[in-house]
Amino acid sequence: MSRSAPRPSALSPVNLALLGVLLAVSLFGGLSLVWIQQQIGETASRIESQERELRDLERRNQYLAARIAEEHRPDVLLRRAGTTLKIPSTRQVVRVEREYAGDGTYTVRMIPFEQEGSVALRR
């Protein structure tokens, strides 16, 4: 009688170990996919919230820019100053000259106006 070598069974310990590793990797990959999708959803929600906040801030910035422009109008400035606003004398007005030095510094000089007509007045 000839005896043949025993055939390995399909459920050998090596095959079971490989099957277990395959199942673990699949499970880990599936959980990772769910986690990534959750992170994407949270990030999209944060971006939407920040975009809404940015739109609100831009709207407020436009409102404040309009208010500042309104307050800088000459008629508003004159009304706010009342009767205390006077034309400056030539002693109060200086010319500022700035000279660039070679070492990267600036020299600033304030020179008083000598002539009465050199100050431009708007009447």
What local confidence, expressed as pLDDT, does residue 66 receive? 96
Q: Is residue 122 part of a domain?
A: no
Tokens read off for 93: 């007005």
DSSP lists the bridge partners of residue 40 as none
Q: Is residue 9 part of a domain?
A: no
Q: Is residue 121 part of a domain?
A: no
Please give the mean pLDDT across all residues of the chain.
84
Q: Is residue 6 part of a domain?
A: no
Q: Is the pLDDT of residue 31 over 70?
A: yes
Q: Is the pLDDT of residue 84 over 70?
A: yes
Q: Is residue 82 part of a domain?
A: yes
Range(s) of the domain holding residue 25 = 14-115
Burial class of residue 6, CB neighbours in 10 A (0-12, 13-18, 19+): exposed
pLDDT band at residue 27, thresholds of 50, 70 and 90?
A: very high
Tokens read off for 106: 């600036």
- C-alpha–C-alpha distance, residues 102 and 55, integer Å: 46
Q: Is residue 46 part of a domain?
A: yes
What local confidence, expressed as pLDDT, does residue 50 receive? 97
What local confidence, expressed as pLDDT, does residue 123 receive? 44
Long-range own/partner contacts, residues 62-71 (CB < 8 A, 24 or more apart): none
Q: Is residue 26 part of a domain?
A: yes
Other Cβ atoms less than 10 A from the Cβ of 68: the count is 9
Q: Which residue's structure tokens are 């009447």?
A: 123
Over residues 22-39, the mean pLDDT reads 95
Q: Is residue 120 part of a domain?
A: no
Domain count along the chain: 1
